[in-house]
Amino acid sequence: MKTTLDELQAFVAVVDTGSITAASELLDQTVSATSRTLGRLEEKLQTTLLRRTTRRLELTEEGSAFLQRARAILVSVDEAEELMAARRVRPAGRLRVDAATPFMLHVLVPLVDSFRARYPEVELELHSHEGIVDLIEKRSDVAFRIGALKDSSMHARPVGISRIRVLASPAYLARHGTPTDIQQLAQHVLLGFTQPDSLNEWPLRDTGGELLRIQPAVASSSGETLRHMALAGLGMVCLSDFMTRADRDSGQLVPLFEDQLLDVRQSIHAVYYRNTALASRITCFVDHVVTTLGAKPFD
């Protein structure tokens, strides 16, 4: 059997107070309980730590050597507990964040500087994956996911909602014309996603009244790749507002079908496993994202 912290605390308390009675009062125990704890420790160590006389307790040579180790262990435990308490107040340590490349580049990266200024002891690791990743497999602590959530075993916190729009560059429209009717899309180069196929549903009604499902002429797994292709005038695209606001504000991408566009929005959540030991780091980062985005809407 291994020595416990309770046994070490009892031993040190007896030495510091000079008696089992005084130690039991310090530990808020009965005298018999403290005496049994001390006897159990000596039995485990198979040695006598204290010589008991009618007047006082005296450390044996073995007891004196063991006392130094016991004090060091108890000090280390106290320091570890204080460190954990401090981290709850001031988060510290490594935080691995995962997000799709567009969200990482357009939303999270611009927030890194202000977050680091506020929480300099948190070491950020930023990872990008285009699909939904397994947090444990990828060793991620928190992920930002866009769209409907499926994994109920994870804690999900809403971060925001972003509208999707059909866009094209002025250069593309100058060469191919600006479509005014959905039927005219058949004459244009449409850029879309390889997966999931639901991302190729544009916020327009088809002839059957359903969301328009396009067949991409060029497809990519990355929304950021599609954005760059659209900026280069290679085709029309449907992307979320969070990644195109600057392009729309500067006129580099022009919204299309504004009078026919449906108000379709993508929900964005921060997800992480419940009961995680990293709660303070995750909370401070997600709080910072939510607070900052609340002051700067996507659209």
| Phi, psi (deg, nearest 5) at residue 4 | -105, 165
Distance between CA atoms of residues 152 and 140, nearest Å: 17
pLDDT digit string, tens, across residues 42-59: 888 888 988 877 667 888
Q: 24 pLDDT band (50/70/90 cuts)?
A: confident
The predicted pLDDT at position 292 comes to 87
Alpha-carbon distance 289 to 159, whole Å? 7
Q: What is the 3-state secondary structure (H, E, C) of 151-187?
A: CCCEEEEEEEEEEEEEEECHHHHHHHCCCCCHHHHHH
pLDDT over 70, % of the chain = 88
- Cβ-based neighbours of 254, under 8 Å, separated by 6 or more: 167, 168, 169, 170, 173, 248
Side chain identity at 205, as an amino acid letter? R
- Chain segment 185-197, per-residue pLDDT in tens: 999 999 999 988 8
Domains (range + CATH), the chain: 5-89 (1.10.10.10), 93-161+266-295 (3.40.190.10), 163-264 (3.40.190.10)
Residue 226: the pLDDT is 96
How is residue 274 annotated by DSSP? Answer: T
This prediction's pTM? 0.67
CB 51 within 8 Å of CB 58? yes
- Which pLDDT belongs to residue 117? 94
Q: What sections of the chain are H helices per DSSP? A: 5-17, 20-27, 31-45, 61-89, 101-103, 109-118, 170-176, 223-231, 241-250, 279-295
Write the CB contacts of 235 (distance below 8 Å, at least 6 apart in sequence): 168, 172, 188, 189, 190, 191, 217, 218, 229
Query: pLDDT tens digit string along 83-111?
Result: 666 566 678 888 989 999 999 999 999 99
Q: How far is CA 296 from the centre of its chain?
A: 21
DSSP, res 221: S
The C-alpha atoms of residue 207 and residue 76 are separated, in whole angstroms, by 71
Question: How far apart are the two ends of the chain, measured CA to CA in Å?
Answer: 64
Q: Taking the mean position of all CA atoms in its chain, how far away is CA 155?
A: 10
* pLDDT surpassing 80 at residue 214: yes
pLDDT of residue 156: 85
